[in-house]
Amino acid sequence: MRSSTSGKKVNMDFTVLMDNDGETLAAWKVFVASSSFLLDTQGNIRYTMQGGADWDAPEYVAKISELMTPK
């Protein structure tokens, strides 16, 4: 995937939602761009972040790995 703001390539092995029509933005009550949501394996929102993040940082990798582990 290529980030539209930085032009950098970012390796991701998870789904990224591009909400072109704004329906999901309204349904999830997003008020800030960019917003990120980490979901558990059941699809429940577990963490919300407003603004950018360094997703390769160890603390984020650990949380994402934890959420991907089936319970």
Domain boundaries, the chain: 1-71
Give the pLDDT score at 25: 82
What's the rounded mean pLDDT across residues 18-23? 85
Q: What is the pLDDT of residues 22-67, one digit of tens each?
A: 898 888 777 777 788 888 888 888 888 888 788 888 988 888 888 8
What's the rounded mean pLDDT across residues 6-28? 75
- pTM value is 0.52
Whole-angstrom distance, CA of residue 32 vs CA of residue 21: 16
C-beta separation of 17 from 24 below 8 A: yes
What's the rounded mean pLDDT across residues 4-17? 64
Strand-strand pairing, 45-50 and 35-39: antiparallel
| Residue 4 predicted with pLDDT over 50 | no
